[in-house]
Amino acid sequence: MQNLKLKKITDFLWEIPKEGKMQVPARIYATENMIEAIRNDNALEQAANVAHLPGIVNYSLTMPDIHWGYGFPIGGVAAFDVETGVISPGGVGYDINCGVRLLASKLTRQDLQPKIKDLVNSLFHHVPTGVGAKGELRVSIEEEKKVMRKGATWAVKKGFGSEQDLEYIEENGCIDGANPAVISPRAYERGRSQLGTLGSGNHFLEVGYVAEIYDGEAASVLGLELDQVTVIIHCGSRGFGHQVCTDYLEVMNRAVQKYGIELPDRQLCCAPINSPEGQEYLQAMCCAINYAFANRQIIAAWTRDAFEEALQMSPGDIGLRTVYEVAHNIAKMETHKVNGKEMKLCVHRKGATRAFAPGSPEIPAAYKSIGQPVLIPGDMGRYSYVLVGAEGAMENTFGSTCHGAGRAMSRHKAKKIARGRAIARELEDRGIYVKASSRRTLDEEIPEAYKDVANVVDACQMAGISKKVAQLRPLGCIKG
C-alpha cells in the first residue's frame, strides 16, 4: 500500500486518483495525523478496488474509521446507479444492520454510581452474550417470518417496548422489501433462538453518562444534559444475518461469471441491482435488517427490566427512553443530488452511518431542526459521541459519516498485548465495571485496540459531514 498514489485534497480529505480500470477516484476522509496509520492497512487498496465496480457514482468513499474488511473496507460508502450499478454483500458486511441504539434516562451519574455493579450484573443476567448465545425467546418458523417482515414493530406487538420507540429508530424499525421465501433453512435455524442476544466481539451494552456537551441547542432537542445516565446498545442480526451473507456470497460468485463482471478482488462479488440475483439478495438483506431491528428492540426492553430489578425503581422513575437508533451495515435505495440532478441510488454503508442534514424527511419530526442523530461508540475505556448529520454529508458523502472508532490493531495483536494483564481490574480502577462472557473477549477489546474515537469524530466535524453534540463516558459495560 505504500506505493498507492494518494493526493491531498484538503486538510481532511485525500484522493486515490482514477487509474487503470477504476470507474471513479477513491476518497478518504482523514486528518494528516491519521493518514500514515491508514496507509499501513490494506483498506486503502480495498477502497481503490471498490472504485472498479460497475455503476459506481462519483467516488468510492471511506470515513476516518477506515480499516480492513471483507471486500469493501470498514468505513466504506459507495453509491450505485440503480439502472447500471451492482449490489454486493461485501459492501454490507456479514453483520447486516449492525447498529447502535441510545437510551437516555431520568437518572444522574450520582444516582447510579453506588449501584453500578448490581446493574451490570443484572444486565448480564437479562441479556445473553457471547458467541452463539441463545436467548429465552424461542419463535416458530411462522413467527420468524413475521420478524423478517415487521422488524421492531413485531417486537413491540409482542410486548417488548412501546410504539414511541419505533418513532426514533431509522426506518421506524422496519424496512420494506423483505421476502422470507428467499432465506435458507440454515439461516432460519440460526436465527430462531438468537433474538434478544448481544453476540460477541465488539458488541456491547454500555451504561454511561453525558460528560460533555458541545452543542447546547441540539443536546436540548435530544433531551440530553450533563451527568444524565445513558445506555448504548451495539449489536446486529447475529447468526441469522451472517448466514444470509454467507449464502448470497455463493450466489454472487456465480452471478459475476454469468454477467461477465470483472473484479480486482473476488470478495467484491456482486450482481446487477436489477438482476434476479441482485433483487433476491436485496430481499434477503431486508429480512436480516428487520431481524436486527427486532433484536435491538428486545434487548432495549430487557435493559429496562434489568434497571428496574437492580435499582428497585419504577419504570417511570427510571425513564429510559429511546433517543435514536442507527444502522451501520446496510445498503439502501435513496435519492441524492449528483451534479445538480436527483438520482436514485443504492447506497452501501459498511461501517458507516447515515447522517442526513436538518430538514430531511427521513428524520423524526422532533429532530428535524438539528439533523439526524448519529451515534458513534468508542472503546470500553474512553468515550463515545452523539453527533448530528450536516449539509456537507448531503453534498459529498451521500448523507454518510463514520460509525465508530475503528480498530487500530488486530484481535490477535490485542490479545498478545493484553497477555498477563487483568483488563477488568484495570478498567475498574478507572471507575468502569465490565463483565464479559470470556476473558478472551476482554483481551481482544482492550481500549488501545481501537483508534481514539475523538480523533475520528473531530475529522468528520472538520470535514463538515457531521457535528458533535455530546460526549458520553462509560460507568459499566457487558461484552459479548
Catalytic residues: 403
Phi, psi of 17 (to 5 degrees): -60, 155
How many CA within 13 A on the CB side of residue 57? 26
Parallel, antiparallel or unpaired: strands 433-436 and 204-213: unpaired
**Based on the number of CB atoms within 10 Å of its own CB, is 347 exposed (0-12), middle (13-18) or buried (19 or more)?**
buried
On whether the CB atoms of residues 102 and 231 are closer than 8 A, the answer is yes
Q: How far apart are the first and last CA of the chain?
A: 33
Q: What distances in angstroms separate CA 128 from CA 16, 143, 151, 374, one per listed residue?
A: 43, 21, 20, 26
Classified as helix, coil or strand, 337 is strand
On whether the CB atoms of residues 80 and 348 are closer than 8 A, the answer is yes
Determine the Cα–Cα distance for residues 452 and 33; give it in Å rounded to an integer.
12
Closest CA to 98 of 316, 312, 347, 375: 375
Residue 11: how many CB atoms within 10 A of its CB?
A: 12
Closest CA to 420 of 439, 441, 393: 439
Phi, psi of 168 (to 5 degrees): -110, 25
On whether the CB atoms of residues 233 and 205 are closer than 8 A, the answer is yes
**CA gyration radius, the chain:** 21
234-256 core/surface letters (b: 16 or more CB in 10 A; e: else): bbbbbbbbbbbbbbbbebbbebb
Determine the Cα–Cα distance for residues 168 and 171; give it in Å rounded to an integer.
9
On whether the CB atoms of residues 357 and 337 are closer than 8 A, the answer is no
Q: Which three cell numbers stand for residue 2?
A: 505504500
43-55 core/surface letters (b: 16 or more CB in 10 A; e: else): bbbbbbbbbbbbb
159-170 core/surface letters (b: 16 or more CB in 10 A; e: else): ebbeeebbebbb
Q: Which three cell numbers stand for residue 11?
A: 486538510
On whether the CB atoms of residues 80 and 276 are closer than 8 A, the answer is no
